[in-house]
Amino acid sequence: MIKLNPAASITEEFAEKVRNENRNDRLMKLAPIFVLIALVMVFTATCGVSFISGGNLLNILNQMALPLVVALGLTFVIMLGSIDLSIDGTVGMAGSLFACLVLNSEFGTNLGLMGAVIAVGTSMLCGLAVGLCHVYLKIPSFMASFAFMYICKGIGMVSYQGHPPTIQDPFIKALPTASFLGIPFITWVAIAMFALCYFIQERTAFGRHIYAVGTNESIPRSVGVSVERVKVGVFTLAGFLFGVAGVIGAIRLGQGQIAIGAGKMFPAQAAVVVGGTSLAGGKGGVTNTIVGVLIMTVLDNGLLVLGVNPNIRTGIQGVIILVSVILTVARGAKVISK
């Protein structure tokens, strides 16, 4: 008579369940790449070969530069399970300060590229202040950053006193059309920021601590990691990247004004979420974000080539954000239930 081993049967069923969950998890991670490929194929079929022509691909690279830098900064904040709503103000402030500090039409300053250092440094200080308020004053991150959005807007508007300066520095004016190896200079700046963020995420203790704090901050705290320092550092890093984005925006526009940052917050959040970074924290990263930015840029570019009404384009982007959030929440629920 054959005796069945209930324990062995249960163990086998559990192992099969784990394999299926791991397979589903891998598919979820690859989903944004599949979406990107599908979008390229759809727009190539509907718009013709011109969509994947060299000229249009360069347009896509140029369009994604500023959103990518903003989204990279937001990625680390979201990986903590926090949010930063100061983006529009910080980006606009940095662009305004930069234009005021270089050779311009309104003021007698001419600090050259040192103006970029000061503008980005000011943005970092604002990010530091948001982090300190959140961590030590126990103000929720969304509220602290929301307040600093208006503080930064005020600083930006005061900096040019109601008269937006036009950049007149010949070197800076030439940057929007400058290229290297056929790729626009501004895109190279975005690539450099991505490389820096990837190095921080994958090759530094700080990057590992971000994941750990976002997953369960009590665990890194129990082994001596200063969770407070990690959080403040992340908001400071975000401020740095928002500042770089502001400088890029001013260079591209050729002028400094607070409107440079207008409407940058939600597209950045969309790109981060669409790329697969979890709103609950601890999952995702900058590689997910660059895929998310490409998805949003390709979508916008394709709809523009097709001549779709701007309001409809915005609505489509909203639907994609909603679906991405639903998938992210569903994925998080599965992880919790394990």
Alpha carbons 13 and 18: distance in angstroms, whole number: 9
Structural domain range at position 219:
66-262
Contact 273, 43 (CB under 8 A): no
31: amino acid identity, one letter: A
CA atoms of 20 and 333, how far apart (whole Å): 16
How many angstroms separate the CA atoms of 150 and 95, rounded? 15
Assigned domain for 307 exists: no
74 within some domain? yes
pLDDT at 129: 97
Q: How far is CA 113 from CA 102, 140, 171, 172, 294, in A?
A: 7, 35, 10, 8, 29
Q: Are residues 209 and 230 in contact, defined by beta-carbon separation less than 8 angstroms?
A: yes
The CA–CA distances, whole Å, from 171 to 110, 175, 240 equal 12, 7, 23
- C-alpha 248/C-alpha 252 separation (Å) is 6
Q: Where are the alpha helices (DSSP H) in 182-309?
A: 185-203, 205-216, 218-222, 227-253, 265-275, 286-305
Tokens describing residue 158: 């005061």
- What does R_g of the chain's alpha carbons equal in angstroms? 22
**pLDDT at position 49:** 80
Question: Hey, what are 306's tokens?
Answer: 């097709």
Token pair, residue 268, equals 């950045």
**Per-residue model confidence as pLDDT tens for the chain (338 residues):** 445 455 445 445 544 444 444 455 566 677 788 888 888 888 888 888 878 888 888 888 888 999 999 999 999 999 998 999 999 999 999 999 999 999 998 888 888 889 999 999 999 999 999 999 999 999 999 999 999 999 999 999 999 988 899 999 999 999 988 888 888 899 999 999 999 999 999 999 999 999 999 988 898 998 888 999 999 999 999 999 999 999 999 999 999 999 999 888 888 888 898 888 887 777 888 999 999 999 988 888 888 888 888 788 778 777 877 776 666 555 554 443 44
* Strand, coil or helix: 104: strand
Closest CA to 271 of 128, 95, 66, 124: 66
Number of domains the chain is built from: 1
Give first-to-last CA distance, the chain, whole Å.
37
Q: What was the pLDDT predicted at 17? A: 47
Calculate the alpha carbon distances from 257 to 51, 63, 112, 221, 239 in Å.
33, 19, 18, 42, 18
User: Has residue 318 been placed in a domain?
Assistant: no
**Residue 112 in domain:** yes
Q: What ranges make up the beta strands (E) of the chain?
A: 179-180, 183-184
Q: Is the dihedral of CA 68, 73, 76, 78 positive or negative?
A: negative
Phi, psi of 166 (to 5 degrees): -90, 130
CA–CA separation, 187 and 143 (whole Å): 32
- SS3 state at 255: strand
